[in-house]
Amino acid sequence: MAKEVAPVAKNQIINVTFEDLTHDGAGVAKVEGYPIFVANGLPGEKGQVKVTKVKKGYGYGRLLDIYEQSAARQEPLCPIYNQCGGCQLQHMSYAAQLAYKKKQVSDVLTRIGKLENVNVHDVLGMEDPWRYRNKAQVPVGEREGGLVAGFYQQRSHNIINMDRCLIQVEENDEIVQGVKVIAEQNGVSAYNEQTHRGDLRHIMTRYGRHTKDVMVVLITRSSKLPNQDKIIDEIKKRYPQVKSIVQNINKKRTNVIFGDETKLLWGEEYLYDYIGDIRFAISARSFYQVNPEQTKVLYNKALEYAELTGEETVIDAYCGIGTISLFLAQKAKKVYGVEIVPEAIEDANRNAKLNGMTNVEYEVGQAEVVIPKWYENGIKADVIVVDPPRKGCDESLLQTIIDMKSKRVVYVSCNPGTLARDLRILEAGGYKTTEVQPVDMFPHTTHVECVAQLILKEGN
């Protein structure tokens, strides 16, 4: 059999028409049916592309020129947009971003989930899709003897020094850059990945959208921080909204941001914030949604899909610090939550107490181990809510859901691909997906969250 030859060659310059977008926002052009993925291209546009990589079934290119623009194209507001990579869609109008995300969800439900007639609603977007992130985790480096703090350049570990990020709340921008200056003035060096030396690895800030309070976390290579007391005093003096200064120590050669040891340097151990009427105590390492405005939209939809009357027993798999389960507990008879991270369960219990909720019970462990045990012990849920990580639900958990025959399943997902795969399994096990509501939690990026409702088919 003759070896297939790609219709293009590396470094060739070609004229193309973009037909579609990939799941990570790259334009898709085809030459004799051979797809070429090009960052920054939009469907309907015609442009000139330099081929940068040729593989057997597809290639990559770099956009040189656009000679027929899409009506959806706009000038990115961020001055370092083309370098940074933190956002992928600022060159698209916001309305076009929402349409793209809806299509992305519909396509994977059909292609992966084989779900033909599911009602996928229009994406619930933000009125003002800027300055929404309440948490910044910014790497620190050194250049020409001075500290720099900013995000990594695309596909590299080069730090782009920056003053502001347009999807971060302004308080985070201001305090990260101010802490960088304070650290530099007090003889703190930046961590060096190559030599595994230096002091400061990352600066993290958390902002309470409703309380206006800030937590500063200094992530360091060792427990010793030069001039620690002076740094604390200067942060307190310059930023009265800072209520908590925390140090996390990461001694390992790793790209993982946090180490195992966290200690309070000054102030309160927790930052407090609200989602809807529920108050949360958030520790330095807690998982807490970075867009609380849209989190409320997401959780209200999950609550709506649960159809609670006050008589139901609900299980919240992957419960984290209790964000969804406390929303559900407002209208359920009893909520059980499970989470593999012990610190998260400590936070969940604290948050239940903080809100005076006595109808929730949490357990540490793997959802796929704990929930079957509950089932064996006679705990049967009327509604199961899952909010798994990007890899989706464990197969044994999906089988337990099928065995338990709960009336409804509410699936909250941060990855449409694994959502589609898991819905397919649940459908084969006797459930029917009634509707899917995408929510735009991360404007200007390719990420989209979804809430899906499934009901048990009659006769199962």
Active-site amino acid positions: 414
Q: What is the per-residue pLDDT across 317-326, written as a single tens digit (0 to 9) for each?
A: 999 999 999 9
For 40-74, give the DSSP string.
Answer: T--TT-EEEEEEEEE-SS-EEEEEEEEEE--TTB-
Higher pLDDT, 341 or 179: 179
- CB atoms inside a 10 Å sphere around CB 17: 14
Domains along the chain with CATH numbers: 13-73 (2.40.50.140), 98-127+291-456 (3.40.50.150), 135-275 (2.40.50.1070)
Task: Report residue 360 as tokens.
Answer: 């929730």
Give percent above pLDDT 90 in the chain.
85
Q: Residue 92's pLDDT band (boundaries 50, 70, 90)? A: very high
In one-letter notation, the amino acid at residue 341 is: V
For helices 367-376 and 395-404, the axis angle rounded to 10 degrees is: 20
Among residues of the chain, what percentage have pLDDT more than 70?
99
Of 173, 266, 270, 167, nearest to 213 by C-alpha is: 270
pLDDT in tens, 220-235: 999 999 999 999 999 9
- Terminal alpha carbon distance of the chain: 51
pLDDT band (50, 70, 90) for residue 286: confident
Mean pLDDT of all residues in 203-230? 96
Evaluate if residue 148 carries a pLDDT over 70: yes
Strand blocks (E) in 69-210: 119-120, 135-143, 146-149, 200-207
Residue 3 has pLDDT above 60, yes or no: no
Rounded mean pLDDT of 443-457? Answer: 97
For residue 11, pLDDT beyond 70:
yes
Give yes or no for residue 156 having a pLDDT over 90: no
**CA 252/CA 270 separation, integer angstroms:** 26
pLDDT of residue 159: 86
How would residue 83 be classed by pLDDT, with cut points 50, 70 and 90?
Answer: confident
Q: How is residue 398 written in tokens? A: 């999906």
Per-residue model confidence as pLDDT tens digits over 352-384: 999 999 999 999 999 989 998 998 899 989 999
pLDDT score, position 2:
40
Residue 84 has pLDDT above 80, yes or no: yes
Q: What is the mean pLDDT of residues 9-15?
A: 95
Among 84-93, 94-103, 151-160, 184-193, the range scoring the smallest mean pLDDT is 151-160
pLDDT at 328: 95
The model's pLDDT over 391-430, given as tens digits with 9 standing for 90+, comes to: 999 998 999 999 999 999 999 999 999 999 999 999 999 9
Interatomic CA distance for residues 54 and 60, integer angstroms: 7
**Mean pLDDT, range 105-131, rounded to an integer:** 95
pLDDT, the chain, mean: 94
pLDDT at residue number 153: 79
Say whether pLDDT at 1 is over 50: no
